[in-house]
Structure 1
C-alpha cells in the first residue's frame, strides 16, 4: 500500500524568561547583532552608498557658426595668420585674416534630429615660399543632454606643429566628454552652470589668447576632448594650404550623482542580502543555546500542555 503525505503543520515552542534574565539579555544582543552586523559588513565593503552612477546618451551637438584659426609661419613679414567668424575678433585682427574659403556641413545620418558628424574645411592663402609651422583651431559648440537635463557651451580645440611643407592637413576624431565630478541631475530643471561662451567676443585681445582660452576651459568640471584621433597630410609647397577635419559625436558615458531613492534602493539590496545570511547564522546559534539549555528559561510547549 502506498502512503502519501497529505498535510503537515509545525508546532511552536516558546522559550520565555523574565525581563532582566540572562536569556532576555542574550536575545536582545542577538537581535541587535542581526540588524547591525549586515550594515557594518556592507559599509566596510565600501559599496553601500552609491556615490555616482552612469548613463549612456548621444548628445545633441550643434555648430554655433563660430571658429578661430591661429597659425604661425616661417615668414618674418607675416609670422601669424588668424581667421575667425567672430564679429569683434574679425574687426580687430582683420589685417591678419588670410582664409579665403571655409565650408561646414553637419550630418544627421539616421534622421533622429541629432547631429552625428561635423565636417569643416578651411583654405589658407600663403605668401610665396611660406609654410605653416603650427596651427590651432577652436570651434565653439552647443551641447545638450536629455536624460539628465544639461546644457553647456563647449568647443573642439586642436593644436599641431608642422615641421615641414604641407599642402593639406586632415584630421578625423571623436568628441567625448571628460568629467572631474559627476553631474547633479534635476529631472525638472536644466543644468546650465557651464552654458556660457568658451570665447568671450568683446574685442579684448586677452580673451582671444589661445593659452587663456585653454586655461579657462580646462577649469570646468565637464569638458569635451578629442579621442581616437587620426591625422593625415599631403607634403608639398603651396600657396593654398587646406585644413579639413571630420568630427564624430558618438554616444557618451555621463557620470551623475544619484538621488536619494536610488541610493536607498542600492543600499537596501546589499543590506537585505547580508541580513539573510547573518540572521540565519544567529538563528543557528540561538537554537544551539536553547536546545541544550545552556541558560535558564521557561519552555512553553503545546504538546506538553495537552498531556
Structure 2
C-alpha cells in the first residue's frame, strides 16, 4: 500500500503517514484546497488584484519648435478688425494688409544643468500703427515633447494662450506650465509616435488650415495633449503711439506624473504580492487545524517509528 507522510508533530520528531486511498488523504486534499484557494478569491474580490494602470514621475524633454501663430484683436474691431503674424510664409500671405512683422526672442533654459530644458522665455514686440489699440490676443506656440523612461513617446504639441482686456494695453505677461493631459495611459515599452505630427499645416495655401478653431479642434481629438496652465495674464496699459505691443510669456516644463499600462510581469508581481500576503495567514491557521486533526486522531493516521541512530549507521555502512 502506498503511504503519504503528512506532518511533523511539533518538535519531538514524530511523524505521521496515511494511505493514499484513505479518508485521511481526502481530508488532506480538502485542507490544501481550503488553504490555497480562498486567499486567491479574497485577493481578487478585494479589487485591484490585476494592476491595470500604474504611474511614474519623469521630466519630459521639451523643445520649442519656433512655430508661432499670433492674432491680435484691435479696439473697435468687433471681432473683424485684427492684425496677426506667423512663422509660416503661406499664412502671412493670407493676412495681407493685416500682417505685422514683430521682433521675436525665444530662449530655453536648463536651470539645474541636467541636460533637460526647464523653461522657455518668449518675448514678442508687435508693431502697431498709431491709431491701433490692442485689446485681445491669441497666441499659439508648438513644441516637440518626448518621454523615454518607460516607453519612448514622441509627439508635437502646442501651448495656446488667449486673453483680452476691456482697456487697450501696452503689454501682456503670462507665466505658467506646459502640462501633459492624458485621456488614456501610455504603453510600458516600445515606440509611440502616433502624435508626432505637425499641429499646424504650415505648407497649406488655404485659410482654414490656419483658423485657430480648426487647429484647436483637431488637436483636442488626440488622447494625449499638452495644455498651458497658469494664473491669468497680466495686462499693462499706457502704450505710446510709437511703441510696439509686447507679449512676454514664461512657459515652464514641469516634472509630470505619467500614467501607463503595466506589462505582464509587473501585473504578475503585483498580484503575487497580494496573494502571498493573504496566503501566509491561511497557512498559519490551517497548519494549526491540521496538527489538531492528526494529533487527536480525528482522521486516522499511522505513526512513523523513529529511526535508531545505530541502525541508521549500520545501514549506511552496508
Q: CA deviation at 1:49?
A: 1.4
> Which residue among 210, 213, 216 is the counterpart of 1:214?
216
Q: 1:276 — aligned with what?
A: 280
> Which residue among 76, 94, 97 is the counterpart of 1:95?
97
Q: Quote the RMSD (CA, aligned, Å).
A: 2.5
Unaligned ranges ≥5, structure 1: 1-7
Retained in 2: the 8 A contact 1:183–1:255?
Answer: yes
Q: 1:72 — aligned with what?
A: 73
Q: Are residues 1:157 and 2:160 paired?
A: yes
The 3-state SS of whatever aligns with 1:67 is strand
Q: Are residues 1:85 and 2:87 paired?
A: yes
Q: 2:262 — aligned with what?
A: 258
- Give runs of aligned pairs for residues 1-307 of structure 1, distance below 5 A: 10-19=12-21, 21-76=22-77, 79-148=81-150, 149-186=152-189, 189-201=190-202, 202-229=204-231, 231-239=233-241, 240-295=244-299, 297-302=300-305
- Change in 2 beyond 3 A, CA 1:128/1:30: same
Retained in 1: the 8 A contact 2:18–2:302?
Answer: yes
Retained in 2: the 8 A contact 1:166–1:236?
Answer: yes
Query: Partners of 1:217 and 1:227 in 2: how far apart?
Result: 17
Q: CA deviation at 1:246?
A: 0.6
Query: Partners of 1:226 and 1:292 in 2: how far apart?
Result: 73
The 3-state SS of whatever aligns with 1:273 is helix
Q: How many residues align?
A: 295
Query: Partners of 1:137 and 1:91 in 2: how far apart?
Result: 18
What TM-score do the two structures reach when normalised by structure 2?
0.84
Retained in 1: the 8 A contact 2:75–2:168?
Answer: no
Query: Partners of 2:117 and 2:134 in 1: how far apart?
Result: 32
The 3-state SS of whatever aligns with 2:214 is helix
- Change in 2 beyond 3 A, CA 1:290/1:304: farther
The 3-state SS of whatever aligns with 2:63 is strand
Query: Partners of 2:239 and 2:105 in 1: how far apart?
Result: 23
Retained in 2: the 8 A contact 1:129–1:237?
Answer: no
Retained in 2: the 8 A contact 1:185–1:257?
Answer: yes
The 3-state SS of whatever aligns with 1:65 is strand
- Change in 2 beyond 3 A, CA 1:26/1:94: farther
Query: Partners of 1:43 and 1:88 in 2: how far apart?
Result: 59
The 3-state SS of whatever aligns with 2:195 is coil
Residue deviations 1:95-130 (CA, integer Å, cap 9, x gap): 322243111111123333321111111122334443
- Change in 2 beyond 3 A, CA 1:237/1:304: closer
Q: Which 10-residue stretch deviates more, 147-156 or 100-109?
A: 100-109
Retained in 2: the 8 A contact 1:185–1:191?
Answer: no
Q: CA deviation at 1:18?
A: 5.0
Residue deviations 1:269-300 (CA, integer Å, cap 9, x gap): 111111111111122222333333334x2322
Q: Which 10-residue stretch deviates more, 197-206 or 127-136?
A: 127-136
Q: CA deviation at 1:183?
A: 0.6
